[in-house]
Amino acid sequence: MVIAGVIVTGFVLGVSPPPDVRAASTVVVEGTVFADTDRDGVQGEGEQGLAGVSVTDGAVWATTDHSGRYSAEVDVTRRETDLIHVVSPDGYTPPLREDFVPRYFRPVASTVDFPLLPDAKAADPAEKWQMVSDTETDNRSDQSAERTRDQWSDQVRAMAEDPAASLTIATGDLTVTDYTSAPRRQGSYDILRAGLVAGKLGHAFYPVMGNHDASEGAYVSSVELFRRNLGPEWYSFNRNGRHHVVLENNYDTSSLVPQLAWLREDLRRNAVGKQVFVFAHRSLFTQWGPGPAIQPIADELAKYDVRMFAAGHNQQAEFRRGAFPRSVEVNNIGATYGIDGVRPGYKVLDFTDLANRYVTGQHHQFGVRDDMAVVSPAQSSVYEQFARIPLDVYAEDDGRIPVKASVQVRNAWGWTVWRSELAFGAPAEPAGQVNCYTPPGGRPEPCPKPRDNWTMARSVISGLLPGSYRVDVVAHDSAGKSWPAKRNTFRVVPFFALHKAKAGADWTRQGGDEQGRSASPADPGAVLDQRWSASTGQNFTLNGAAVADGKAIVTSQAFASPYNQVIAYDLATGRTVWRTYVDGDAESFPTVHGGRVYLSTSVGRVYALAVTDGHVVWETIEDEHKTGATVRRYGRAGGPVSVFDTSAGRVAVYQQWNQIVCRDAGTGARRGGFRADEVGWGEFHSTAVRVPGSDSAYINSGAGNALVRLNLTTCARESSVSLSKDIYAHPSPVIADNTVVSMSQQGVLVHDMTGKQLWSAPVPTANCEPGPPPVTTPAVYGGIVYVAGIDGKVRAFDPAKPGTPAWETAVGYPPGASPVDDPSRAKYCATRPAGAPAMHPLATATTVYVGTWDGRLIALDRRTGTIRAEYKLGGGLTSALSVSGDWVIALTTDGTVHALAARRPRFPLS
């Protein structure tokens, strides 16, 4: 049969070998590796054989002679489908199949030639690669087949839009084979391959085998479908002056011994004096699956200059210092779903200038199409004369790369008074004190050069006289195409026409206070203007800004580099006060207590930094294992560190995988811990909350799976209540009027202080959005519970009448931005969604602020739910908000800090 141009036969790679090849247990395979300069697949006159090239079947090896000839004796009982493959040399790419998989492998036969195509990009150390993971094409049913066929084809089209990318590698779980009935399994591979054709990828697609790509049974039979469709389960190639190794490291460890023998010889032949990149499905920092059994492979790799170990599987976007010196360990977010509140996506990798820095890249989100905004000056915004007006332009697409923004500012008469061409992702000047990452007991690393996020173009407009203005912006991509033009109007008023924004009470932790209520005594109101912005160059997802000591302090999550940061900005001006680089993704809101900034990272590190200058006061790490020249970090923290003054001293509390841990907040010494209840696979983002002065606190274990009460002085569990079996929620409990308010995928749950449930209210989660979006913490103000739902509605619940919301408001979508406006997604939405997923409500006397998945800050009337204002801030607003005095601090997924302030005129503005 033929599917979208991909011919599918009983033996997908080609016809079965002749009977005489199968009759013996071994067969001699001979052939030539040659430079196919005319690209016809046949060695013609003048097409030179390539000497010194390795050929292997995954066990035995051969080397080509001066004319490119080789001979290998292959054991044809080793696998069901016998393959032989070439380790392509630097500067060559194997011919591509119709589905763009390189033909570096062939079925075993008596004669197998390998034509290779000279390719300048294959010799370029700065070649642009894409990495996608967990595509999970799914043929379990006709419905899942149709959906994943559409989804995967669209994702391939997106990746194909970048003309500079010339290779994509997919790190496992490309299909859903293991959960599919035997007669339908080939269909999962058909969908994968047909999507590559339909999406017109246009460049090499290298596959990695994941656990979902395997069938049941013994190892040989479990890898058979993968081999038939995509080639050997482990292999290697040379490219860009480096050596690239693909491993199979899933649950069946029986392959590791023969794989190690093959790897040892492969590295000896190909990796000496080269940088080495390793691709597999499971990270070396994942203790499940092969776990310690893969250590001999890690030890062998450690003999060489390994710079990257890239994987998928965990459905999280993480980019960390790796198991080997100067290496990075990458967990790629899945193309189908994630567990960290991030849209499905892929990486664009940057290999330039690796002599003195790590591999980095760009994080791209699938499903973001032609999104563009003039964030500042916003529509109808007002600035004083002589003010430095922040100019922020955001442009993002799941395939296109923004390069420049053309900006013109015109006055009321239409005269151009300011113009500029802005670069996206421009370098930024270092400012403030910079604390380069220093490993414990080691030397500081070189600090990276700061730059803006690739989706942001930024500048400052100054020198405008009082009057009305319009700003016109056109963003252009790397192929010369443009985003739809945007225009905002704004005003400049005389100097002293506006009151200066004032700070108020500190906002020292997520939720603002020890009860976690996200209720502010200050009230900036609904009319806000962005006074300053700052780009970290990284990302924010479930983060936030602590406000203390006149500073806004943020933790950035570096989805595409290991350069995770904690940064302090001057609250009044946005000036960078200090910047500290830390180890591991800082995935949550920082806590400020007693002059220190507390945070944990995804590799299990816990930090206390000085508020004044950001230096490390103390740090610890959980579950780190050093063996020889390698390190394995199994720690799974990353959530908030909650700090309390108790009768037994100052205590820091956080979750590390399946443990609730307490440490002395002054020294970092461990004070105890216990196993967290009902923890599932996921991330852990709960703060601990308490009634002020109490020695007991409440925390959600796992992804809001249980409500745990613990004693802060003994770090012992006092009680636990089951909440949910979810892995996608990221809420914290809230204490209000002697009750504990919790949030889960099912809705609001309210208990008394002993754990008895008092009431509950369902909150729908259907939203037609990928991700899925994160379920986040409610706010409580004046006894009313405010919930931002991922169904696109904000609700207020009165505990006296919890059965029906006191009000509910749909946040809607900007025109044309609903999933039903996208033909490729509309047929999978049963009804038009009420709005973009909403999250992280924060309440004041008059206003409830919420962020949305599509990047809007929305201000609603607290009493009625009426939307009073909304501000498009760029990327998704999935981090918790902060308020101090006149200031509202919002963080967007494009790594930008937005400092908005109440507009308070000294006199009526005409």
Closest among 105, 114, 92, 245 to 169, alpha carbons compared: 245
- Percentage of residues in the chain having pLDDT higher than 70: 97
The pLDDT-based confidence of 355 (bands split at 50, 70, 90) is: confident
Q: Is the pLDDT of residue 452 over 60?
A: yes
Asked if 498 contacts 906 with a C-beta cutoff of 8 angstroms, the reply is yes
pLDDT confidence of residue 15? 37
Phi, psi (rounded to 5 degrees) for 825: -110, -20
CA–CA separation, 788 and 809 (whole Å):
10
Encode pLDDT of 483-492 as tens digits.
999 999 999 9
Q: What is the pLDDT of residue 4?
A: 33
Please give the structure tokens belonging to residue 895: 């790594």
pLDDT at 11 > cutoff 60: no
Mean pLDDT of the chain: 94
CATH second-level architecture of 371-493?
Sandwich (2.60)
Candidate CATH numbers 1.10.10.10, 3.20.20.140, 3.40.50.12170, 3.60.21.10; the one for domain 2-365: 3.60.21.10
Contacts of 815 (CB under 8 A, 6+ apart): none
CATH number of 528-902: 2.130.10.10
pLDDT for res 746: 87
> Quick one: average pLDDT of 419-437?
95
Residue-wise pLDDT tens digits, 53-78: 999 999 999 999 999 999 999 999 99
Assign residue 192 a region (left: φ > 0; alpha: ψ between -120 and 50; beta: otherwise).
alpha
pTM: 0.95
> Cβ distance 236 to 199 under 8 Å?
no
What is the pLDDT, as a whole number, of residue 724? 86
Each residue's pLDDT tens digit, 562-601: 999 999 999 999 999 999 999 998 889 999 999 999 999 9
Residue ranges covered by each domain of the chain: 2-365, 371-493, 528-902
Res 16: pLDDT: 43
- What would the pLDDT profile of 289-320 be if each residue is shown by its tens digit? 777 889 999 999 999 999 999 999 989 888 99
pLDDT tens per residue, range 214-247: 998 999 999 999 999 999 999 999 999 999 999 9
Residue 6 binned pLDDT confidence (cut-offs 50, 70, 90): very low
Q: What b/e readout covers 320-343, taking b as 16+ CB neighbours within 10 angstroms? A: bbbbbebbbbbbbbbbbbbbbbbb
Rounded-to-integer distance, Cα 322 and Cα 526, Å: 45
pLDDT in tens, 602-637: 999 999 999 999 999 999 999 999 999 999 988 888
858 pLDDT above the threshold of 50 = yes
Q: What is the CA radius of gyration of the chain?
A: 28
